[in-house]
Amino acid sequence: MAQTQFTQRVFSGIQPSGGLTLGNYLGAIKRFVDMQDEGSFQTVYCMVDLHAITAKLLDPDTLRHNTRELCAGFIASGIDPEKSILINQSQVPEHAQLGWIFSCIARMGWMERMTQYKDKSGKNAEAASLGLLAYPALMAADILLYHATHVPVGDDQKQHLELTRDIAAKFNHDYGVDFFPITEPVIEGAATRVMNLQDGTKKMSKSDPSDKTRINMTDDADTIAKKIRKAKTDPDPLPDNTDALTDRPDARNLVNIYAALGDITPQAVLDQHAGALFGHFKVALSDVAVDKLAPISSEMSRLMDDPAEIDRILRRGADRAREISVPILEKTYDIVGMLRS
């Protein structure tokens, strides 16, 4: 079969299940902005509110607030709603519709092997929601609904993207078509896995009960500086090469954060700071972090003063998105044999 040529299109999403963290910013949003500005892709970025209720139901006002705040975070970080299509997932109903089809393509065994499902369902999988198990099928639908060819994400989403490729391949194979692209994950840069500030072996996460473990995109300059000052480190000075950081997860994490914020490599950070003790390095890191993050956080709060404008941007984003998603869903239904009359 001739290979279909797909438009170069980027899709990615973030859950409005809590506030944005530095991990989301460096692992995802910063890359979203780069890919938008590069100009060779059409870019679609999404607040995945349907995903946000899979682990636990949220208070409705909190979910609405988080979704608007996430939208403000995207824009304040440099996503331009004219250049990119910015959407809230539930406002484009085709996501859930294609998600159902993919729930019938994906196999139970595939879903049960997902490490995030296993971590989030924990010891009591019987009590997990059906949505938590189906989560990656909906994620595949998010991506394939736009025939996205590239998906920038942090390292923790790698397995979900492999599943997305498996779902596309099985759909194409089972129906004898070349309809869905086999998407490329884009997992690049110094900060594909930003770690917890109090334990460099764990991922920085918005769901960690302790606020000291993360930098939130809404933190002010003093809070950012304080959290960096209190971040766990070791007593040794910074080495002169990155290999020497292999067994020093806390130190490596701070070096990687510095590199990602400053758009340089971790080795370049060590070239500048080799021999420094962490007391000194943390001051330099705080300066870079405050410099980059404080303007984003103040722009977010300015945007949040006008929620009606955020809603307008998302309404328009949904209309633009549906120009792509409706024909793709219609064609999918047609391939599957759903009556269209």
Which listed residue (56, 118, 202, 203) is catalytic? 203
331 belongs to the catalytic site: no
Q: Is residue 13 at the binding interface for ligand TYM, with CB under 6 A as the rule?
A: yes
Select the span of 33-41, 147-155, 232-240, 324-332 touching ligand TYM (CB under 6 A). Answer: 147-155
Q: Is residue 215 at the binding interface for ligand TYM, with CB under 6 A as the rule?
A: no
Q: Which residue from 47, 114, 153, 329 is in contact with ligand TYM, where contact means CB under 6 A?
A: 153
Q: Is residue 44 at the binding interface for ligand TYM, with CB under 6 A as the rule?
A: no
202 belongs to the catalytic site: no
Nearest residue to ligand TYM, scored by beta-carbon proximity: 27
Which listed residue (30, 120, 227, 292) is catalytic? 120
- What are the residues whose beta carbons fall under 8 Å from the beta carbon of 302, sequence distance 6 or more? none
Minimum CB separation of residue 50 from ligand TYM in Å reads 9
Select the span of 122-130, 138-146, 234-242, 272-280 touching ligand TYM (CB under 6 A). Answer: 138-146
- Sign of the dihedral through C-alpha 259, 264, 268, 272: negative
Instruction: Output 54 or 332, the one with its CB closest to ligand TYM.
Output: 54
What six digits make up the tokens of 122? 């924990």
Instruction: Output 74 or 278, the one with its CB closest to ligand TYM.
Output: 74
Please report, as residue ranges, which positions from 162 to 201 form the binding site for ligand TYM (by CB under 6 A).
191-194
Minimum CB separation of residue 83 from ligand TYM in Å reads 19
Q: Is residue 256 at the binding interface for ligand TYM, with CB under 6 A as the rule?
A: no
- What are the residues whose beta carbons fall under 8 Å from the beta carbon of 46, sequence distance 6 or more? 11, 12, 13, 14, 86, 87, 88, 89, 142
Select the span of 79-87, 137-145, 218-226, 278-286 touching ligand TYM (CB under 6 A). Answer: 137-145
The three-class DSSP label of residue 317 is: helix
Q: Which residue from 47, 133, 143, 257 is in contact with ligand TYM, where contact means CB under 6 A?
A: 143
Q: Which residue from 51, 147, 150, 292 is in contact with ligand TYM, where contact means CB under 6 A?
A: 51
C-alpha distance from residue 151 to each of 88, 271, 312 (Å): 17, 32, 26
Q: Is residue 14 at the binding interface for ligand TYM, with CB under 6 A as the rule?
A: yes
Q: What is the DSSP string of 26-58?
A: IIIIHHHHHHHHHSSSEEEEEE-HHHHTSSS--
Alpha helices in 230-306, H assignment, sequence order? 249-262, 266-273, 278-304
Instruction: Output 164 or 172, the one with its CB closest to ligand TYM.
Output: 164
Q: Is residue 15 at the binding interface for ligand TYM, with CB under 6 A as the rule?
A: yes
Q: What is the C-alpha to C-alpha distance for residues 164 and 159, in angstroms, rounded to an integer?
A: 9
C-alpha distance from residue 277 to each of 58, 260, 330 (Å): 43, 20, 60
Q: What is the C-alpha to C-alpha distance for residues 87 and 47, in angstroms, rounded to an integer?
A: 6
Q: How close are the terminal C-alpha atoms of the chain, in Å? A: 29
Q: Is residue 66 at the binding interface for ligand TYM, with CB under 6 A as the rule?
A: no
Alpha helices in 106-157, H assignment, sequence order? 108-112, 115-121, 130-144
226 belongs to the catalytic site: no
Which listed residue (170, 202, 206, 331) is catalytic? 206
C-alpha distance from residue 218 to each of 65, 122, 126, 329 (Å): 13, 30, 36, 37
- What are the residues whose beta carbons fall under 8 Å from the beta carbon of 304, sequence distance 6 or more? 68, 69, 72, 310
Q: What is the C-alpha to C-alpha distance for residues 139 and 130, in angstroms, rounded to an integer?
A: 15
Q: What is the C-alpha to C-alpha distance for residues 81 and 135, in angstroms, rounded to an integer?
A: 27
Instruction: Output 192 or 286, the one with its CB closest to ligand TYM.
Output: 192
Q: Is residue 157 at the binding interface for ligand TYM, with CB under 6 A as the rule?
A: yes
Q: Is residue 154 at the binding interface for ligand TYM, with CB under 6 A as the rule?
A: yes
Residues carrying an active site annotation:
120, 203, 206
Chain residues binding ligand TYM by CB under 6 A are 11-15, 23-24, 27-28, 48, 51, 139, 142-143, 151, 153-154, 156-157, 160, 191-194, 203-204
